[in-house]
Structure 1
Amino acid sequence: MAKRSLEQRLEEGTVIAGEGYLFELERRGYLQAGSFVPEVALENPEALKQTYRDFMNAGSDVVLAFTYNAHREKMRIIGKEDVLEPLNRQAIRLAKEVAKEHPTEEALVAGNISNTNIFDPEDPATGEKVRAMFAEMIGWCKEEGVDYVNGETFYYHEEAVIALEEIQRQGLPAVITLGLMGENILRDGYTVEESCRLLSEKGALVVGMNCFRGPDTMQPYLEKIRAEVDGYVAGLPVPYRTTEEHPTFFNLPDAGCSCHLPTETTFPTSLDPLYHNRYELAAWAKEAKDAGINYIGLCCGGSPAMLREVAEAAGEEAVNSKYSPDMEKHFLFGKDDTLSTHNVNYRGKA
């Protein structure tokens, strides 16, 4: 089957986007929490390829090159600016290798840029630094032949605009998603729906939200965006039980925790008890699709099993859907006639 573009896939139905490599690779033991820099592309490329593969086989239509935080400022902080370009190019090349493995249609490959953490709307010089950082990363994306660029987790509208402009400068389609913090407004005063409308009008193929918020505290804003935007809308929450009182995962409390945490909050390494289960995430995915969200996925904390449930709830079949849960033959909870009745009858006491 000929490889369809992102826009063609969006025209024909829902696109599933697997993200969340940052937490997943930390969980697998190949990335340091805190600095959160994707050195894995150079240090453990096979681990990164397997993670790409696992998310693709779980239903992702795109292999997102893992270059989140692989920008000049972050690399400067850890003293590794010298590997900036090799890291970016390697992450894309590994993504392209895995994308070709898809058994029915080659997956899309997306380049990735993200919040820089240096942008300050009161200091124009920071905007120019951000622009230069994005320009070099997107230039490498163009040279390596990505299908589009995903600009993500922007909590300043104006930084997102710079990202979009630099993506367009290279003639590539753009997906731009915003990270909304606990104030429920972007840090330069824009509402997310206003920002997304402006970004869409400026030419972004897809606009929306990712990260920071779980389904319960992201969905109301996705619906506001959908009402304001004529084009395609993305929703990629984190899989944690955020609440109106604690709308992001940065300050989620764990009432059941009985030990001393090394950080002030459960973020980022003590969030484990605060996950949504996969069926709650599936219910959200169906709600999002019904609300007209076109580009659906999960962000930090999402696992391949969670993403597969999301994809199936959105009406898509994953490569690994054959491994989706089926309790029919389980020794305690199955209903197969050949199961031992003394075990089946015992399940209420197990």
Structure 2
Amino acid sequence: MKRSLEQRLQDGPVICGEGYLFELERRGYLQAGSFVPEVAIENPEALKQTYRDYMKAGSDVVLAFTYNAHREKMRIIGKEDLLEPLNRNAIRLAKEVAKEHPTEEALVAGNVSNTNIFDPDDPASKEKVRTMFAEMIKWCKEEDVDFVNGETFYYYEEAKIALEEIQKQDLPAVITFGLMGENILRDGYTVEEGCRLLEEQGALVVGMNCFRGPATMQPYVEKIRETCEGFVGALPIPYRTTEEHPTFFNLPDGGCSCSLPTETTFPTSLDPLYCNRYELASWAKDALNTGVNYFGLCCGASPSMLREVAETVGREAINSTYSPDMEKHFLFGTDDTLKGHNLTYRTKA
């Protein structure tokens, strides 16, 4: 039998592959800017392969790609008629891939996210948000997901609405905050306070995702772990954010020799600012020692990066067979059959 999310969390770390938004833009199937996952309708095989690549890299969860697939985003691009079919198809494709796992069928998670219309001073906006979440989570329930992931909330109250709507459908909830550069949620709560409240209200996992790289997320993850008693999640972006620039929205690139078409490196010029996989592994080790239970990487992550995280926290991925091994490399290998003249040249190459 397929274990539930809670059962897997009790047995050890759970890995959730995210980052589809940037990955599918990088693969050429999604438009940067609007960042709407039309790929679920227009290029379903490309989405399935992306799901598959992250699952084989160690993800226990196939997260349905419905981030930004809410009514407000669909309104902006003039395609509200695709809202329901897009959501349902993203989940159905995820379920198809989850069944391919060779040892234990992967979990399938529905997904809701920040709506960008929430206004704490506007009751009408709150009802719009609730309606948007309610319809998406209803489709999740009808498509028989294992749990719902609510993510990238920068208002506590918006996250609370998401949790309430998930609970109305009797589904487990993972709720994570995206913390902006002010270092506090926009309605005045600290991120650890918001997590504590959501945990008290029944969220299975609480924590953080997106916006921040390992260096500027981990201090807040530690505060969440100290404050909360249950399961904690951490899914940073794989970029070198700093105390001066804690999110990827305003990360500078002092080495760029050309003018950019955007004001900042975000979202299409972040490439030189990546963490390497070993930096991500170092973070994963720290997070594991902190007591994080639910691991992943967010926007910008590749499957090889996720595999490094999974292996660091003690998991063997389907594709761990392809993890780096320099033994046979012509310059840097140690195999006895390698040509000696190449090995002596390694310092000059």
Fold in common (TM above 0.5): yes
Residue 12 (structure 1) shift? 0.5
Q: Distance in 2 between matches of 1:286 and 1:93?
A: 34
Q: Distance in 2 between matches of 1:290 and 1:321?
A: 23
> Match of 1:250, SS?
helix
Q: Distance in 2 between matches of 1:287 and 1:225?
A: 14
> Match of 2:112, SS?
strand
> Match of 2:62, SS?
strand
Residue 267 (structure 1) shift? 0.1
Q: Which residue of 1 aligns with 2:239?
A: 240
Q: Distance in 1 between matches of 2:72 and 2:41?
A: 18
Does residue 114 of the first structure (1) align with residue 113 of the second (2)?
yes
Residue 201 (structure 1) shift? 0.3
> Match of 2:202, SS?
coil
| Structure 1: gaps spanning 5 or more residues | none
Residue 339 (structure 1) shift? 0.3
Q: Distance in 2 between matches of 1:282 and 1:228?
A: 25
Residue 125 (structure 1) shift? 0.6
> Match of 2:176, SS?
strand
Q: Which residue of 2 aligns with 1:185?
A: 184
Does residue 141 of the first structure (1) align with residue 135 of the second (2)?
no
Residue 311 (structure 1) shift? 0.3
Q: Which residue of 1 aligns with 2:209?
A: 210
Q: Which residue of 1 aligns with 2:230?
A: 231
| Alignment deviations for residues 81-104 of structure 1 (CA, whole Å, 9 cap, x no partner) | 000000000000000000000000
Q: Which residue of 2 aligns with 1:167?
A: 166
2:188 corresponds to which letter in structure 1? Answer: G
Q: Distance in 1 between matches of 2:257 and 2:5?
A: 47
Q: Which residue of 1 aligns with 2:74?
A: 75
2:154 corresponds to which letter in structure 1? Answer: Y
Q: Which residue of 1 aligns with 2:22?
A: 23
Does residue 48 of the first structure (1) align with residue 79 of the second (2)?
no
Q: Which residue of 2 aligns with 1:152?
A: 151
1:294 corresponds to which letter in structure 2? Answer: N
| Structure 2: gaps spanning 5 or more residues | none
| Alignment deviations for residues 91-123 of structure 1 (CA, whole Å, 9 cap, x no partner) | 000000000000000000000000000000000
Poorly superposed stretches of 4+, deviation over 3 Å: none
Q: Which residue of 2 aligns with 1:58?
A: 57
Residue 218 (structure 1) shift? 0.1
Residue 229 (structure 1) shift? 0.3
| Alignment deviations for residues 132-179 of structure 1 (CA, whole Å, 9 cap, x no partner) | 000000000000000000000000000000000000000000000000
Q: Distance in 1 between matches of 2:347 and 2:243?
A: 36
Q: Distance in 2 between matches of 1:215 and 1:138?
A: 30
> Match of 2:296, SS?
strand
Residue 335 (structure 1) shift? 0.4
Does residue 87 of the first structure (1) align with residue 86 of the second (2)?
yes
Aligned residues: 349
> Match of 1:31, SS?
coil
1:169 corresponds to which letter in structure 2? Answer: K
Q: Distance in 2 between matches of 1:106 and 1:344?
A: 45
Does residue 295 of the first structure (1) align with residue 297 of the second (2)?
no
Does residue 317 of the first structure (1) align with residue 310 of the second (2)?
no
| Alignment deviations for residues 289-342 of structure 1 (CA, whole Å, 9 cap, x no partner) | 110000011000000000000000011000000000000000000000000000
> Match of 2:348, SS?
coil
Residue 79 (structure 1) shift? 0.1
Q: Which residue of 1 aligns with 2:285?
A: 286
1:175 corresponds to which letter in structure 2? Answer: V
Q: Distance in 2 between matches of 1:283 and 1:106?
A: 29
Q: Distance in 2 between matches of 1:286 and 1:100?
A: 30
**TM-score calculated relative to the size of structure 2:** 1.00
Matches within 5 A, 1:263-278: 263-278=262-277
Residue 194 (structure 1) shift? 0.2
Q: Distance in 1 between matches of 2:50 and 2:289?
A: 29
Q: Which residue of 2 aligns with 1:260?
A: 259
Identity between Structure 1 and Structure 2 (%): 83
Q: Distance in 2 between matches of 1:125 and 1:187?
A: 18
**TM-score calculated relative to the size of structure 1:** 1.00
> Match of 1:176, SS?
strand
> Match of 1:306, SS?
helix
Q: Which residue of 2 aligns with 1:199?
A: 198
Residue 196 (structure 1) shift? 0.1
